[in-house]
Amino acid sequence: MLIRLNYPQEELQQFFSAAVGKELSFVEYIEQNWDKYATLQEFADAMHLSMRQFTRRFQALYNNSPYQWILDQKSRRIHRELIYTQKTLARISSEQHFKSVSHFNVFCKIHLGQTPGAIRKDRDIKLKKGEEKDGERDKRERKNLHANN
């Protein structure tokens, strides 16, 4: 309230827009570059922040630790890759910077609840069931078409 009384609205808008713009650019940088650094320290260094500044700012904006947030993002990306692509497990593992397919398997088991192979197997079963349902629907539609003619 005191701020509003002591400063013209124009000055307040400039001040707060600079602060909001600064946070927005922080968020944009995080979202666009979260997967480009091997360590959080490298990430903080790239943003010209101490590790403490980076972590505090990150937690204030995301309500999560940088480490946990990055793990969540990585898990989501891997899950999408396993479900929606035909890439080999070795390729996904390599693209996500795992030292080995074995490490990739352990990561998936811990963070996704299943091995990559099991996730793919479940996907294939669901796809097959979907195709069977589509086939049954097509048969019913053809039968109805013939019955109506």
How many other β-carbons are positioned within 10 Å of the β-carbon of residue 140?
A: 10
pTM above 0.85, yes or no: no
pLDDT for res 8? 64
Q: How confident is the model at residue 6 (pLDDT cuts 50, 70, 90)?
A: low
- Asked if residue 17 has pLDDT above 50, the reply is no
Tell me how long the chain is. 149
CB 89 within 8 A of CB 117: yes
- In this structure, the answer to whether residues 74 and 133 fall within a common structural domain is yes
- Report yes or no on 84 lying in a domain: yes
pLDDT at 105: 98
More confidently predicted of 59 and 145: 59
**pLDDT over 80 (residue 58):** yes
Calculate mean pLDDT across residues 93-114.
96
Of 118, 138, 141, nearest to 130 by C-alpha is 138
pLDDT value of residue 129: 86
Residue 1 domain flag: no
Predicted confidence band of residue 134 (pLDDT cuts 50, 70, 90): low
pLDDT at 19 over 60: no
The answer on 55 and 83 residing in a single domain is no
Spatial contact of 73 and 35, defined as CB atoms under 8 Å apart? yes
Judge if 93 and 41 occupy the same domain: no
State residue 3's pLDDT score: 46
Predicted confidence band of residue 138 (pLDDT cuts 50, 70, 90)? low
Q: Which residue has the tokens 């352990």?
A: 106
Segment 46-57 mean pLDDT: 96
| Residue range(s) defining the domain that contains residue 146 | 70-149
